[in-house]
Every structure is written in structure tokens, then in C-alpha cells.
Amino acid sequence: MIYNITSPEETEALGRKLGESIKQNELKRAFIALDGEMGVGKTVFCRGFASAFGISGVKSPTYTIVNEYRSKDGTKIFHFDLYRIDGYDDLASIGYDDYIMSDGYSIAEWTARIPEEVPEEAIRVTISRTNDNENGRIIEITGIPV
């Protein structure tokens, strides 16, 4: 699906919709690969995603690479920012495989850094800018109906 977005609020709302959709599908595990250039709105999207699980205050985990959140009902959300990751050794050092194989939902910014390590069944979200409006974005989501 392709969405035409005109504000940060809409990006956040779409993230939330994806979270709701994952909840409805009762998936035990999911990996969301979130890509797009710097400052395009990936973290804003993650914030919306987490809000579907009653989690607020999501910030970029830039220095820690991964932040772990837990909803009231025990659902775990792993929020990665892979911008500073350089190859598989870096990933191994943060326990990437353990995270993505455990029950819960992984949402990862900058998977373009580690294309080979994105699970095949990943839901993919790509955000790009539009030319007409500073706040304009095109968001494409594949792998799940939203």
C-alpha cells in the first residue's frame, strides 16, 4: 500500500495503524524494516507504532542501537536504529539474533545498513520525501494489510 502523507501527525497515525493491524493479526513475532533518508520521519513512525501498544515517549535509540519497551499486557517492542551499525559483527555484539527471534515486535530504522540480515518475512516500510511540500511524504508498506 502507498500512502500520501502531509504532516508528522499523519505519519505517526499510520505507524499506529500498522501496530493495530499487527495486534489484530495476533502475530507472535514480526520484524518491521523501516527505511528512508535522514530526518524523513522513521522515528515519528515508530512512535506511532508503539502507541498502538500503549507505549509512549519513544525516542531514537541512536547511542544504544536498541531500546526495549514492554506494554501493559507484556508485549515487547524492540526499537533499533542501525545507522551506526557496520556489518554483522556489530549486530552480533548487540544480540541482534536473540532480539529478532524472541517473541515480540522488532521495528528497525536503517535496515539498508544490513540488507542481508533482514528476515525474509519482514514487513517493509519505506518513507520518502515529496517535492511539493516540506512536510509531504510517501509511505509504502508491504507485507501486511494496514
Ligand X SMILES: Nc1ncnc2c1ncn2[C@@H]1O[C@H](COP(=O)(O)OP(=O)(O)OP(=O)(O)O)[C@@H](O)[C@H]1O
Residues within the interface to ligand X (CB under 6 A): 5, 7-8, 11, 36, 38-44, 60, 81, 109, 135, 137
Q: Which is nearer to ligand X, 26 or 134 (CB)?
A: 134
Cβ 68 to Mg ion, closest distance in Å?
16
**What is the smallest separation between the CB atom of 96 and Mg ion, expressed in angstroms?**
18
DSSP letter assigned to residue 64 = T
Phi and psi of 36, rounded to 5°?
A: 150, 160
Find, among 125, 129, 128, 127, the residue nearest to 141 by Cα. Answer: 125
Q: What does 135 bind: Mg ion, ligand X, none (CB cut-off 5 to 8 Å by kind)?
A: ligand X
- Strands 123-129, 137-142: pairing is antiparallel
Cell of 112: 539498508
For the bound state, the minimum distance from the C-beta of residue 72 to Mg ion, rounded and expressed in Å, comes to: 25
Measured in residues, the chain has a length of 146
Q: Is 79 in the site for Mg ion (CB under 5 A)?
A: no
Give yes or no for residue 137 binding Mg ion (CB under 5 A): no
* Partner interacting with residue 67 (select from Mg ion, ligand X, none; CB below 5-8 Å by kind): none
- Beta-carbon-side half-sphere exposure of residue 123 (alpha carbons within 13 Å): 22
